[in-house]
Amino acid sequence: MPGGTVTKTRNSAPENPYLWSLKTVAHILSNRQYTGCAVNFKSTTVSYKVHKVIHNPVEEQQIIPDMQEPIISDEEFERVQELRSHKRRNTRTGRQSLFAGLLYCPDCGAKLHFCAAKSLKPNQEFYRCANYNSGRGTCTIHYICNVVLEEIVLEAVSSLADYVRCYEPVFLYFLAMQNNAEHQINSKVFRQSIDKGEQRIRQIDKAIEELVEANICGKNHG
C-alpha cells in the first residue's frame, strides 16, 4: 500500500516478557491506544501469499476515541511524540549534543546541525545551519559553539532559579495567572464548540419540522 512501511511478521513470543528492550519502550511510547482510543487499520499484509505487514500512515488509520479508560491524556501523548521527533543521534565521535533537534536558524528556519569530529576538541564543537552545506546551500555561514550555548542556557536557568527563590510569591502569582489565562482560552473554545453544536441541532430540528409540515400538507392536498 502506498505510503506504508513493510516489515516481517513476528509470531514468536519473547523469552522474557518482563525484560523491556529499547524497541519495546519505543513501541509503548508510540502506542496511541493508551489515550483510551481504539485504532483500526494500523496495518495490512501485502497479499495472502506474501506474509509481510505494511504499517499504514496515521492519516489512513481509523481512530475511535473514548473506547476504554485512558492511561495518559491526548496532550501528554502528543507531547511525547513531539519530544521523540527530536531524538538525539550519536555523531561519529560517539558524543551527543544536549540541544540536538531543538535549535533553528534565525535566518532561514532550518535546523542547526551539531558538528563534531575526532579532530575537534569538545570545546570546539559547534552548531551550523543545515542549509549552509559548506557554501553550496541556500543560507550563509553562521554558527555557535556548544560550550557557549551551554553557558548561555546555564546562566538563564540560574537566573530563573534565583528569581524563584527571591520572589517565590510573585512567581507563583504569575504562574497562576498564566494557568488561569490558558484555562479561560480552553473554556472559550469549548463554549464555542457547544454553541456550534447547539446551533446545528436547531437547524436539524427546523429541517425535520419543515419536512413533517410538508408531508402533512401533501397528504391534505391529496
pLDDT of residue 92: 65
Residues 191, 168: Cα–Cα separation, whole Å: 34
Mean pLDDT estimate for the chain: 78
Share of the chain above pLDDT 90, in %: 0
C-alpha cell belonging to residue 87: 531524538
Contacts of residue 132, defined as CB under 8 A and 6 or more positions apart, other chains included, come to 139, 140, 141, 142
Let me know whether 11 and 77 are in one domain: yes
In angstroms, the CA 108 to CA 187 distance is 36
Same domain (yes/no): 14, 77: yes
Confidence label for 178 from pLDDT (cuts 50, 70 and 90):
confident
Cα separation of 132 and 114, whole Å?
Answer: 13
pTM exceeds cut of 0.85: no
As a whole number, mean pLDDT of residues 100-107 equals 83
Residues whose CB is less than 8 angstroms from the CB of residue 175 and which lie 6 or more positions away in sequence, other chains included:
none
Residues 77 and 99 in one domain: no
Which residue, 55, 84, 113, sits at the end of a domain?
84
Q: Within this chain, do residues 17 and 73 fall inside the same structural domain, yes or no?
A: yes
Domain range holding 128?
A: 89-165
Residues 158 and 196 both lie in one domain:
no
Least confident of 23-27, 137-141, 153-157: 137-141
- Asked if residue 184 and residue 135 are part of one domain, the reply reads no
Q: Give the total number of structural domains in the chain.
A: 3
pLDDT at 7 over 60: no
Q: Tell me: the pLDDT tens digits for 73-96? A: 888 898 888 877 766 665 666 677
Domain ends where: 165, 194, 213?
165
Give me the percent of the chain exceeding a pLDDT of 70.
82
Question: Is 156 found in the same domain as 173?
Answer: no
Residue 9 has pLDDT above 50, yes or no: no
71 and 21 inside one domain: yes
Residues 77 and 96 in one domain: no
Same-domain status, 76 and 100:
no
State mean pLDDT over 195-217.
75
pLDDT tops 80 at residue 218: no
Tell me: do 152 and 177 sit in the same domain. Answer: no
Highest mean pLDDT: which of 75-89, 106-120, 183-197, 203-217?
106-120
At residue 197 the predicted structure's pLDDT band, cuts being 50, 70 and 90, is: confident
Higher pLDDT, 193 or 8: 193
Among 84, 112, 133, give the residue marking a domain's end.
84
Do 16 and 56 belong together in one domain? yes
- Report yes or no: 127 and 143 within 8 Å, Cβ to Cβ: yes
